[in-house]
Structures are given as structure tokens and as C-alpha cells.
Chains A and B, each alone.
Chain A
Amino acid sequence: MRIELTVDGKYLALSLSSDKPLNLLLQDDLEIRSVTSHCNGELCGNCIVLLEGKAVLSCLVPAFEVRGRTIVTFDGFSRTRDYRDIERAFSSCAVNPCDNCYASRVLLIESIIRRYESTINDFDEAEILQEAELIRCPCLDSRSFLTVARESLFNRRKRKNVRRTQIS
């Protein structure tokens, strides 16, 4: 099956099996090094990418579903200024996840802060703590994840000088 998609800003056309999971597509066909996990349905949470700006577990997305869509992996995201907000938050909170899950945690936080960055709403803590459990890597607890997400949001709002308006 021919699939056209945009990955990290590059428009690509690929020929591959239509039901191939997105994580394998990124690993095998595009040799993207930040997506390396393939847990065979264990839902390890280490293969997160941004699909149209929202975090998804790429192992749950079949190739046919990404036709004509935009994907951002950690490789692409780590070159943006938005990444610096999250990177600084990890460092200032003294939270240091392992290399296996770092990329997924960053993209998950990015997806979360995009939901909140232009509002004055505070985090729905229960929801974020639940989101943190999505990544099963044992190197970090949910509370630390929440702290980093909160700090990242603060950095983002500060940098973008977001006018805080309540979204009704």
C-alpha cells in the first residue's frame, strides 16, 4: 500500500503493508532512532509520537490511518524551542528519567501542555497522574511527572507570554 505522510516536517511517500504499526514504520522504514520500542501489545508506553499534535501510542496506530497526516517524533521535536521548555523543567525539578522512556515522556508532556497553555485552567491532577501511568518504565513516579509537566507549562507560558484567558 502506498502511504503519504509528513514526519518531522518531511513529506514522504512509502510503500508498505497497510496494517503495519506506526512504531515499526518509523523504526524500520524511516530509521527514526527515538522510536525504538516494540512491546508486542504490552502497552509499555515507550513509543509515543505526536499525531496531528496529540500524543498517541504509535504501536496502536496502523499505517493506513496515517495517510496524509502529520507526525512529530522526538527526533524532530527535540530541535524545536518548545522542547527547551520541557528540557529545562526536567533539569530544574531534578528529575532524570532513563533514556528508554525520555522521548515518550517529553512528547506526552508536550501534548498535555498544548491542552493547557492558552488557558488559565490549572492541571486536572488526577488526569495527569493517570496519564503518567501510561509509560510503564520503572524509572519515574507519577508525582514527579506531574511536577515536571507543571514546570514545563510554566516555562511555556512564560516564554510565549500567553495572555491568560479562560476558555469557556
Chain B
Amino acid sequence: MAEHMRGSLNKSSKFYGTLITANSSKKARVTGIEIPDLGERYFTLRRSDLKDDAVLTVFSGTLPVLSEESVLYPQQPVMALFGPDSESVGLLSKDIRLTLSELEEEEESAEAANGLSYGTEPAEEEEYRVITSSVRQEERVFIKEKPLTCECWQEGERVHIEVPAQWPSLIRTNVARLLDMQEVNVIVHQMPYSALHDEYLIQPVILSAIAALAAVKAGLPVVLTDRAFSVSPRIEINRTTKCSTEGKPVSEECRMTAWLGAYALDDAEFIRQSLTGLLPNYPVKSFRAEVSVKRSRSFPSLFFSGAGYSDALFSTERHATMIADSFETPPAKWKEYVASAKRPFTDYMPSADLRQLAALTAEIEQESDFNRKWASYATQTDEYDLFSFTRGIGLASGYSISGFSTSHNKEYSAQAKITLTEKHNITLLTSFPPSDEFSSLVTKTIRSEIDMGRDSDVIILDNDGTMTDSGADVLERAEGHFPIQLAAACGRLNLQKDEAPVSIVFDCDEKLVPCEFEQRGMAGIIIETKLDNLSFDPVVLEAWVCASSCQEIPDLYLNSMIRRQLISTLRDCGAKFSSDPQRPFRINIVRKDWPQGGLTSLASAVRGLTKAAFLSAMKLCLSGLDQRLPLDAQSVEKAYRQTGGRQ
């Protein structure tokens, strides 16, 4: 239908639109809008054209479609301008002037907080060494070069929306509510996209809502274009660990603060994910952690790089290296030394045998010659004799998780449908975007669970305009989490095999596990870096990854996933890659079986561990560096000067 409509509409019968945004970094109110004479071929959509309660609902939070009364972040949409072609609309939008008056900022306070603890505090009289660390991640806005385009048209009672979206159902429910329509009359045609983070989650909802309102107002199809972007939240994590004189951690306290943008959408889930990441990957008798969320003047940031888990894991592993460092022991040796005990069961994660992690890093430790390099580099840190010595190596290891927490899954249900047809083919209907990885994983899962004949096929149904809601395509849910549930559904379908045709609608997420998350694989990463003494860029020389993954995931898929996550994370951290012909950048991947059984998804672990290993390596290059990501040449140069380095 969408194709038919597109073909039958020529350019002159469409309106093209752009958003007029307020560029204020402070909280402000729009007091005046100067609009040039538009003529009859243009029209605008303003706050006054919308109902009073016109807000978008995302999880438990809301955000306005258009906002004039209170502008809370730069580039917040204030109004939309539509006209006969995108060029003239683009030109005319430059002539629209907004007058803003700043509003008083409220005092910054934590809007949501939660904690976890286990064990009891050790006796005060014993002598401990106290190790503290503080890591920070700056807020950054990542703008996609690819414009985000939303096309909307009305066809009888129905409204069609064509947009790339990580959660099509969110668009459907919001647009239906704004237009007072039944949800079945809002058809979302999901366009292909490739999201590194959450750039197609909330913005398409805003665009679709505006485009739908404009299409209804104009009675003609509307094309609305904007830049897609995602925001990495500002995060601060402080840890204090008391260690025995032999180097064994006795108690640890940890406090994490995250600034998640101007609107609270699902802070509780962020906190749960973060608390899971803060659990130490070394035995501690007593542990306390607290996560609090604050508001900031930015676009809501919730799922950037894994809703807090990866960032928390980054701090955990960076801290582990600092403890090892304070006892002048290579981190790999220290982990081996303390890994005799199990990590206890908590509400957030089942107990874990930490010896598995130590064994995993041992796999790549020899290949990378980690212990020798660490000792050598550590003794030469900040040496600026004739030639500056600025090399480092870092290690991190940890468990992975995927998908939402159990509490979240109980609150928001997401579903998919599997059908055994009369001809004994299997069809699957989800709202997840089609991709090669997704198709091959679900096909493999179905074939391994259901005994299908040679002539039978697995058909992944076209989800264009589907009413099925499989939830948001974030946190590796589609490829890392969904196949687990699919496997269980296939088991149920097996029992009814003789009753074909038969369909099963099943939950895309696990709701019955006792913990919020379960371990979904583990990884160990070693990264070797150097500092370019001329440009002050951090340069990555080589990376070694040992991944413990289930057998169902093919080597090619696993390797390319690890490679992509590692490289994009390093780039986000400000790293450059060595292009020296003598030693070009390389990634070495070793694969191990996942001893606990079940499907695995390593992306969240790879992201967090990469950051930790990279920062640890850079601190070995230059001790004066702030514990802050991303690194840039300015901060590196400053630290270089402060530690006595000069050319």
C-alpha cells in the first residue's frame, strides 16, 4: 500500500516541512515569534494548533510535541514550517526569528535514586588501605549525517506514517492519541535504519506526531525532515574500596550520578541497569552502591550505549585496575589472586564464579604479553628524558547482559507471533526491523528447536504496518535477547505440532527470572595504546579480545559484532587507530564456549570493557590524565605539560 501511494503522489502534491527549534542552552520561554509573510503555499504548525494535553508518552514519562512555554534543551522544536518544496522551506525557516526569555533554573536535585547492598561493614579497628577512584563521562551529542525523514499521508480514515523507527508501536499509540483515532487506523511503515544507539527511538515519535497533525491540517501528504541525533549522558561514578594489606578488597562503596536530559522517561530502568554494572567483578565482603539521576539541559538520553550498564561496568573495571595498580601488581595477576571466591547472588544478578573471568583473561594475557608490558610501561610512565615514553596497556573483563530488566518486562509487555502453517512452514511476525543478522539468528534458533522437514521453510513476515508490538529495538533485544524467548516459544509449538495450523503469541522478554538480569556471556579485553607526541592524539595499537559465547552464534557474526562495538566505542572515546605500516592497528579475537549454557549477547560488555581497558592503558601512558572520557588532544596536551612533559 505504501509503495502504491508513493508512486501515485507526485512532488507537487506534497508539503515539505522543517522544524524551527530554539537554540538556548538554558531554560527559556518563547516570548515572540517573527514570521515573514508566508503566502498561501506555506503554513505553520504551532503549539496553539495542538490540544492542551498534547504530549508524547514514552514509558512512564512525557515530553511535549512542540514547546513555547518552556524550552528545556537546545534544538527543542518550537514550531514547524511546511511549504511546497524543501529548498524554499529551508530558506524561509532561516527568516523566522524567535525571541526567548530565560527562566529561572530550579536547583539541581536527584529525581530518582536507588541502591543495593550486601554483606556487613568490616570492623573499624583493622588496618586497611583505602583506594578511591572517580570516573567521569562528558555529555556529547552525536548528530547523524543521514537526515531523518518522516512521510505522512491520510487515506480515508487511516493515517499512514513512513519513518525509520526503533519502536513503531510507540509512534502508533502516540499519534492515535493526539489525533483522537483508533490505533488500528494509524499505520506505521517502518523504513530501514541503522542505529548505533537510540537515535531512532524518540525523535521519530516527535516527527511523526508533527507530520501527522500537519497532514490532517493540510489534507495533503507531508514530508518532514530533521537531523537524527543521540546524546551520551554525563555520568560521574565515585568508588571507595577498603583493601586488606594483602591486596584483597574487604568493602566497597560506590555512588553514581547520571544526568539524563530534560525529561524523565524511564529513569528506574536506567538505575537498575547501572546498579547491575556497578557490581564488582572481584570478591568484596561488603558492597554498597547508589545510583541517582538528575535532569540536564539536553535531549533525553536513556539508551545511549546500553542504559547505564556499560558505563557502570567501565567504572568497575577501571577501579579494579586502580586497586591492582596501588598494590603494584599487574591487573591480570591481581584478578587471578583475588578470584578464588564467588560473587554473591543479588537482586540484580545471579551469583557468578569469578574464576571463569580470570581464566578468560589468561587466554589473551600470554598472547598479548600483558604482564611484561604492563610492568615495563608502568615503570616508565611520565619519563621525558631524551625521547618521551608514552605507552600503555590496559585490561578489563566482565559479564554481559542484554534487554530490559525483569521489573521493566513485567510492567511493559512486548510480543511476537510464531505460526506453524498447514504446509509445516514456520512464520514469525515481530515489529523488529528486518536485518540479515536478525533473520539468520531467528532462523537458526527455530531450526534448532523445531524438527522441520527439508521442504519446510522459516518465513519472517513483512512487518510493514504490523500491529504487533515487540517493543523497542534497543539494548540488543532483537538479536541478543529475543532468540532466547523464541526458543522457549518453539518448545511450546513443538508440543502442538500435530494441530497445525497453530499460532503462539509469546512475550519477547523474560518475566520470571528471580534477578533483574542474567549473565549473557563474558569477555576479556586488552588494549595497547600510545600517545602521539606531536598531535597528542591517543592512538590504539592493538586489541585482544577473548569472548565466551554460546555455540549458536556463528563465528562470523560474533567477530564482526565485537569488531564493530570495539571500534565504535574507541572512536567515541576519542581514540585514533595506528596506521603505522610497521605496526598497524589489529584486533585479535579468541572464542571460548559459554560454560553456563543458553544464548549470549556480548555487546554491552564489549562496550564497557573497551572503555575501561582504553582508559587504563592511557593512564599508563600519561599518569596526569583526568579519569574522563572522551579524551581529546586538548586535555591530553594539558596533562602532558602538567606532568613535566615538553618537546
Q: CB of A18 within 8 A of chain B? A: no
Q: CB of B99 within 8 A of chain A? A: no
Q: CB of B362 within 8 A of chain A? A: no
Q: CB of B561 within 8 A of chain A? A: yes
Q: CB of A38 within 8 A of chain B? A: yes
Q: CB of B501 within 8 A of chain A? A: no
Asked whether B579 lies within 8 Å of A129 as measured between CB atoms, the reply is yes
Q: A99-B194, A138-B196 are in contact. Are A143 and B577 (CB under 8 A)?
A: yes
Q: A94-B555, A96-B560 are in contact. Are A141 and B146 (CB under 8 A)?
A: no
Assembly CA distance A31 to B572 (angstroms): 32
Q: With a CB–CB cut-off of 8 A, which chain A residues contact B240?
A: none
Q: How far is the CB of B215 from chain A (nearest CB, A)?
A: 19
Beta-carbon nearest neighbor of A94 in chain B:
B559
Asked whether A96 lies within 8 Å of B561 as measured between CB atoms, the reply is yes
Q: CB of B563 within 8 A of chain A? A: yes
Asked whether B586 lies within 8 Å of A143 as measured between CB atoms, the reply is yes
Assembly CA distance A126 to B192 (angstroms): 34
Q: With a CB–CB cut-off of 8 A, which chain A residues contact B579?
A: 126, 129, 142-143
Q: CB of A17 within 8 A of chain B? A: yes
Q: CB of B556 within 8 A of chain A? A: yes
Asked whether B564 lies within 8 Å of A98 as measured between CB atoms, the reply is yes
Q: A28-B86, A125-B581 are in contact. Are A138 and B556 (CB under 8 A)?
A: no
Q: How far is the CB of A145 from chain B (nearest CB, A)?
A: 11
Which DSSP category, helix, strand, loop or mixed, fits chain A's interface? loop
Q: CB of A5 within 8 A of chain B? A: no
Q: How far is the CB of B15 from chain A (nearest CB, A)?
A: 14
Q: With a CB–CB cut-off of 8 A, which chain B residues contact A97?
A: 564
Asked whether A141 lies within 8 Å of B194 as measured between CB atoms, the reply is no
Assembly CA distance A141 to B563 (angstroms): 9
Q: With a CB–CB cut-off of 8 A, which chain A residues contact B572?
A: 138
Assembly CA distance A99 to B567 (angstroms): 16
Asked whether A44 lies within 8 Å of B145 as measured between CB atoms, the reply is yes
Asked whether B194 lies within 8 Å of A38 as measured between CB atoms, the reply is no
Q: How far is the CB of A103 from chain B (nearest CB, A)?
A: 11
Assembly CA distance A129 to B560 (angstroms): 19
Asked whether B563 lies within 8 Å of A144 as measured between CB atoms, the reply is yes
Beta-carbon nearest neighbor of B569 in chain A:
A138
**In residues 567-583 of chain B, which contact A (Cβ within 8 Å)?**
567-568, 571-572, 577, 579, 581
Asked whether A139 lies within 8 Å of B564 as measured between CB atoms, the reply is yes
Q: CB of B128 within 8 A of chain A? A: no
Q: With a CB–CB cut-off of 8 A, which chain A residues contact B568?
A: 138-139
Q: A28-B86, A94-B555, A94-B556 are in contact. Are A139 and B196 (CB under 8 A)?
A: yes
| B-contact bits for A124-145, CB 8 A (1 contact / 0 none) | 0110010000000011111110
Assembly CA distance A139 to B194 (angstroms): 11
Q: CB of B584 within 8 A of chain A? A: yes
Q: With a CB–CB cut-off of 8 A, which chain A residues contact B193?
A: 99
Q: CB of A39 within 8 A of chain B? A: yes
Give the 6 A-B residue pairs with the shortest CB-CB distance, closest first.
Answer: A99-B194, A96-B560, A138-B571, A44-B145, A39-B145, A94-B559
Chain A residues proximal to chain B, CB less than 8 Å: 17, 28, 36-39, 42, 44, 46, 91, 94-100, 125-126, 129, 138-144
* A-B contact list, 18 entries, CB within 8 Å: A28-B86, A37-B145, A37-B147, A44-B145, A46-B145, A94-B556, A94-B559, A94-B563, A96-B557, A96-B564, A98-B196, A98-B564, A129-B579, A139-B196, A141-B577, A142-B577, A143-B586, A144-B563
